[in-house]
Amino acid sequence: MSKKVLTTPIQDKDLEDIKIGDVIYLTGYLVTARDAAHTRLVKLGRKLPVDLRGKAIFHAGPIMVHRKDDPTKFDVVSIGPTTSMRMEKFQKQFLEQTGTKLIVGKGGMGPNTTAGCKETKALHCVFPGGCAVVAAECVEEVEDCQWPELGMPEAMWVMRVKEFGPLVVSIDTHGNNLFEQNKKHFNELKNPIVEEINKHVSFIQ
Protein backbone atom coordinates (compact mmCIF):
# COMPACT_ATOMS: atom_id res chain seq x y z
CA MET A 1 0.00 0.00 0.00
CA SER A 2 1.43 3.38 -1.04
CA LYS A 3 2.05 6.13 1.48
CA LYS A 4 -0.54 8.91 1.17
CA VAL A 5 1.13 12.31 1.33
CA LEU A 6 -0.80 15.57 0.96
CA THR A 7 1.17 18.55 -0.31
CA THR A 8 0.13 22.16 0.17
CA PRO A 9 -1.61 23.96 -1.41
CA ILE A 10 -4.23 21.24 -0.92
CA GLN A 11 -7.06 21.09 -3.45
CA ASP A 12 -10.60 19.73 -2.95
CA LYS A 13 -9.86 16.89 -5.37
CA ASP A 14 -6.91 15.78 -3.22
CA LEU A 15 -9.31 14.94 -0.36
CA GLU A 16 -12.19 13.27 -2.19
CA ASP A 17 -11.01 9.68 -1.76
CA ILE A 18 -9.65 10.05 1.78
CA LYS A 19 -11.87 8.48 4.42
CA ILE A 20 -11.98 8.32 8.21
CA GLY A 21 -9.43 5.88 9.59
CA ASP A 22 -6.97 6.51 6.76
CA VAL A 23 -3.40 7.40 7.69
CA ILE A 24 -1.88 10.31 5.81
CA TYR A 25 1.17 12.59 5.93
CA LEU A 26 1.66 16.27 5.16
CA THR A 27 4.35 18.06 3.19
CA GLY A 28 4.34 21.82 2.85
CA TYR A 29 2.98 24.49 5.17
CA LEU A 30 1.67 23.80 8.66
CA VAL A 31 0.63 26.75 10.85
CA THR A 32 -0.09 26.55 14.56
CA ALA A 33 -3.49 28.02 15.44
CA ARG A 34 -5.23 27.28 18.70
CA ASP A 35 -7.56 29.07 21.16
CA ALA A 36 -6.39 32.65 20.74
CA ALA A 37 -6.16 32.59 16.94
CA HIS A 38 -9.66 31.11 16.64
CA THR A 39 -11.07 33.63 19.14
CA ARG A 40 -9.46 36.61 17.43
CA LEU A 41 -10.74 35.61 13.99
CA VAL A 42 -14.25 34.37 14.75
CA LYS A 43 -15.28 36.19 17.92
CA LEU A 44 -13.33 39.42 17.63
CA GLY A 45 -13.38 39.71 13.84
CA ARG A 46 -9.66 40.28 13.46
CA LYS A 47 -8.02 39.33 10.18
CA LEU A 48 -5.43 36.59 10.48
CA PRO A 49 -1.85 37.63 9.67
CA VAL A 50 -1.30 34.37 7.76
CA ASP A 51 -3.03 33.24 4.55
CA LEU A 52 -4.29 29.72 5.30
CA ARG A 53 -5.95 28.92 1.97
CA GLY A 54 -5.00 25.40 0.95
CA LYS A 55 -2.80 25.02 4.01
CA ALA A 56 -2.94 23.04 7.27
CA ILE A 57 -3.32 24.23 10.85
CA PHE A 58 -2.09 22.51 13.97
CA HIS A 59 -3.85 22.77 17.33
CA ALA A 60 -0.55 22.91 19.19
CA GLY A 61 1.63 25.00 21.46
CA PRO A 62 5.24 24.39 20.40
CA ILE A 63 8.44 24.86 22.35
CA MET A 64 10.83 26.97 20.27
CA VAL A 65 14.45 28.03 20.75
CA HIS A 66 16.55 30.59 18.92
CA ARG A 67 18.95 29.05 16.45
CA LYS A 68 22.59 29.24 17.53
CA ASP A 69 23.80 30.17 14.04
CA ASP A 70 21.06 32.79 13.53
CA PRO A 71 19.33 34.26 16.63
CA THR A 72 16.62 35.80 14.42
CA LYS A 73 15.34 32.34 13.52
CA PHE A 74 13.87 29.47 15.52
CA ASP A 75 14.13 25.69 15.80
CA VAL A 76 11.37 23.46 17.16
CA VAL A 77 12.25 21.51 20.30
CA SER A 78 8.87 19.79 20.55
CA ILE A 79 5.40 20.31 19.17
CA GLY A 80 2.69 18.08 20.56
CA PRO A 81 -1.02 18.43 19.75
CA THR A 82 -3.47 20.08 22.11
CA THR A 83 -7.11 19.04 22.59
CA SER A 84 -8.99 19.90 19.41
CA MET A 85 -12.40 19.98 21.09
CA ARG A 86 -11.45 23.32 22.65
CA MET A 87 -11.78 24.86 19.18
CA GLU A 88 -15.10 23.14 18.38
CA LYS A 89 -17.35 26.18 18.78
CA PHE A 90 -15.25 28.24 16.37
CA GLN A 91 -13.95 25.65 13.91
CA LYS A 92 -16.72 25.71 11.29
CA GLN A 93 -16.55 29.50 10.91
CA PHE A 94 -12.76 29.33 10.97
CA LEU A 95 -12.82 26.93 8.01
CA GLU A 96 -15.31 29.06 6.12
CA GLN A 97 -13.31 32.25 6.59
CA THR A 98 -9.80 30.91 5.97
CA GLY A 99 -9.98 28.15 3.35
CA THR A 100 -7.95 25.84 5.59
CA LYS A 101 -7.97 22.30 4.20
CA LEU A 102 -6.42 20.26 6.99
CA ILE A 103 -6.82 20.50 10.77
CA VAL A 104 -4.44 18.53 12.99
CA GLY A 105 -4.92 18.07 16.73
CA LYS A 106 -5.51 15.67 19.59
CA GLY A 107 -8.77 13.80 20.13
CA GLY A 108 -11.96 14.14 18.16
CA MET A 109 -14.18 17.08 17.29
CA GLY A 110 -17.96 17.45 17.26
CA PRO A 111 -20.88 18.16 14.91
CA ASN A 112 -19.91 21.78 14.27
CA THR A 113 -16.53 20.81 12.84
CA THR A 114 -18.00 17.80 11.04
CA ALA A 115 -20.44 20.10 9.22
CA GLY A 116 -17.66 22.55 8.46
CA CYS A 117 -15.42 19.87 6.98
CA LYS A 118 -18.25 18.60 4.78
CA GLU A 119 -19.26 22.05 3.54
CA THR A 120 -15.77 23.44 2.93
CA LYS A 121 -14.14 20.13 1.91
CA ALA A 122 -11.58 19.84 4.68
CA LEU A 123 -10.22 17.12 7.00
CA HIS A 124 -9.60 16.83 10.71
CA CYS A 125 -6.76 14.50 11.64
CA VAL A 126 -5.29 13.23 14.88
CA PHE A 127 -1.56 13.28 15.56
CA PRO A 128 -0.52 10.67 18.18
CA GLY A 129 -0.15 12.10 21.68
CA GLY A 130 3.21 11.77 23.40
CA CYS A 131 5.17 12.16 20.16
CA ALA A 132 6.01 15.87 20.31
CA VAL A 133 9.70 15.32 19.59
CA VAL A 134 8.89 13.11 16.61
CA ALA A 135 6.67 15.87 15.26
CA ALA A 136 9.47 18.41 15.67
CA GLU A 137 11.78 16.24 13.57
CA CYS A 138 9.36 16.60 10.64
CA VAL A 139 9.76 20.40 10.63
CA GLU A 140 12.24 21.50 7.99
CA GLU A 141 12.13 25.18 8.88
CA VAL A 142 10.23 27.71 10.97
CA GLU A 143 9.62 30.49 8.44
CA ASP A 144 7.66 33.03 10.47
CA CYS A 145 5.98 33.88 13.76
CA GLN A 146 2.87 36.06 13.90
CA TRP A 147 1.09 37.48 16.93
CA PRO A 148 4.10 36.83 19.21
CA GLU A 149 2.46 38.99 21.88
CA LEU A 150 0.16 36.02 22.59
CA GLY A 151 3.14 34.05 23.90
CA MET A 152 4.91 31.03 22.50
CA PRO A 153 2.00 28.51 22.78
CA GLU A 154 -0.66 30.77 21.24
CA ALA A 155 1.34 32.58 18.55
CA MET A 156 0.90 31.53 14.93
CA TRP A 157 4.07 29.71 13.88
CA VAL A 158 4.47 29.18 10.15
CA MET A 159 6.40 25.99 9.54
CA ARG A 160 7.49 24.07 6.48
CA VAL A 161 7.23 20.33 7.10
CA LYS A 162 8.10 17.14 5.25
CA GLU A 163 5.96 14.00 5.60
CA PHE A 164 4.57 15.25 8.89
CA GLY A 165 2.66 12.43 10.54
CA PRO A 166 1.31 9.86 10.92
CA LEU A 167 -2.07 11.61 10.87
CA VAL A 168 -5.22 9.55 11.42
CA VAL A 169 -8.22 11.01 9.61
CA SER A 170 -11.04 11.51 12.12
CA ILE A 171 -13.40 13.66 10.01
CA ASP A 172 -13.56 13.42 6.23
CA THR A 173 -15.12 15.60 3.52
CA HIS A 174 -18.22 13.39 3.37
CA GLY A 175 -19.37 14.21 6.91
CA ASN A 176 -18.12 11.04 8.58
CA ASN A 177 -16.74 11.34 12.13
CA LEU A 178 -14.57 8.46 13.34
CA PHE A 179 -14.83 9.30 17.04
CA GLU A 180 -18.62 9.61 16.95
CA GLN A 181 -18.98 6.36 15.01
CA ASN A 182 -16.71 4.59 17.48
CA LYS A 183 -18.68 5.93 20.45
CA LYS A 184 -21.90 4.57 19.00
CA HIS A 185 -20.33 1.20 18.21
CA PHE A 186 -18.66 0.82 21.61
CA ASN A 187 -21.87 1.72 23.43
CA GLU A 188 -23.74 -0.93 21.46
CA LEU A 189 -21.15 -3.48 22.59
CA LYS A 190 -21.11 -2.19 26.15
CA ASN A 191 -24.84 -2.22 26.98
CA PRO A 192 -25.43 -6.01 26.90
CA ILE A 193 -22.22 -6.56 28.89
CA VAL A 194 -23.38 -4.12 31.58
CA GLU A 195 -26.79 -5.81 31.71
CA GLU A 196 -25.18 -9.19 32.23
CA ILE A 197 -22.86 -7.88 34.95
CA ASN A 198 -25.80 -6.31 36.76
CA LYS A 199 -27.45 -9.73 37.05
CA HIS A 200 -24.58 -10.94 39.22
CA VAL A 201 -23.92 -7.80 41.26
CA SER A 202 -26.03 -6.55 44.13
CA PHE A 203 -25.99 -2.92 45.25
CA ILE A 204 -26.55 -1.45 48.69
CA GLN A 205 -29.93 0.29 48.69
**Which residues are the active-site residues?**
38
**Helix or strand run (H / E) with residue 74:** strand 74-78
Q: In sequence order, which residues have a C-beta less than 8 Å from that of residue 159 and are 6 or more positions away?
A: 29, 30, 31, 32, 76, 139, 140, 141, 142, 143
Contact 22, 169 (CB under 8 A): yes
Q: In sequence order, which residues have a C-beta less than 8 Å from that of residue 139 and are 6 or more positions away?
A: 30, 76, 79, 159, 160, 161, 164
Distance CA 28, CA 181 (A): 31
Residues forming a β-bridge with 4: 24
Q: In sequence order, which residues have a C-beta less than 8 Å from that of residue 143 and are 6 or more positions away?
A: 158, 159, 160
Distance CA 30, CA 28 (A): 7
